[in-house]
């Protein structure tokens, strides 16, 4: 398999990375994380389309539009992880291999963050490694896509 195409989705408030609670989310900005992802994508021979939105419907539209354009999805749905049946249903509907990532370890945080609507429709979840969660998630997704 040659180059694969991956949709990278960042959910609400991730545009504030670097400013927002750096003790939890780290000091890198979203632009810096996206740059790291683009570099890793080149190394892995993957084309990335990256979208950030604070709006649930925009994320649902992006997931639906991924069908026929991308082979997989890397998603940090932010707070929507714990609340959005709509995002979960969109991922299930397109049936594209999806990896869920989180900067913080959601299981070491408030109890309401321990539940993910996305995890049951994802091939895997990586959390707690800061910006490395994104890179590990991308590596795992590309490996999965090339092996399956």
Q: Does a structural domain hold residue 108?
A: yes
**Tokens standing for residue 53:** 């939105």
CA-angle at 58, arms to 81 and 68, nearest 5°: 95
pTM higher than 0.85:
yes
pLDDT mean across residues, the chain: 95
Q: What CATH number does the domain containing 102 carry?
A: 3.40.50.9100
Residue 2 pLDDT > 80, yes or no? no
Residue 131 pLDDT > 60, yes or no? yes
Residue 35's domain comprises: 4-53+64-115+124-139
Catalytic option among 10, 25, 70, 134: 25
Q: Is 135 labelled as part of a ligand binding site? A: no
10 catalytic? Reply is no
* C-alpha 37: how far from chain center: 11
- Burial class from Cβ neighbours inside 10 Å (0-12, 13-18, 19+) for residue 32 reads middle
Helix (H) or strand (E) holding 63: helix 56-66
- Number of domain units in the chain: 1
Q: Does a structural domain hold residue 82?
A: yes
Contact 36, 135 (CB under 8 A): yes
């Amino acid at each position: 398999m040659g180059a694969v195409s991956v949709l990278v989705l960042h959910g609400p408030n991730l545009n504030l990375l670097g400013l927002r609670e750096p003790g939890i989310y780290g000091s890198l900005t979203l632009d810096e994380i996206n740059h790291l992802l683009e570099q890793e994508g080149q190394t892995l021979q993957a084309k990335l389309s990256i979208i950030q939105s604070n709006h649930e419907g925009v994320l649902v539209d992006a997931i639906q539009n991924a069908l026929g354009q991308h082979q997989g999805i890397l998603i940090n749905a932010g707070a929507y992880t714990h609340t959005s049946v709509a995002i979960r249903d969109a991922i299930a509907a397109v049936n594209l291999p999806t990896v869920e990532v989180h900067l913080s370890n959601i299981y070491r945080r408030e109890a309401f963050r321990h539940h993910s609507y996305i995890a049951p429709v994802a091939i895997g979840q990586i959390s707690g490694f800061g910006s490395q969660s994104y890179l590990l998630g991308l590596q795992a997704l590309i490996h999965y896509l090339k092996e399956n």
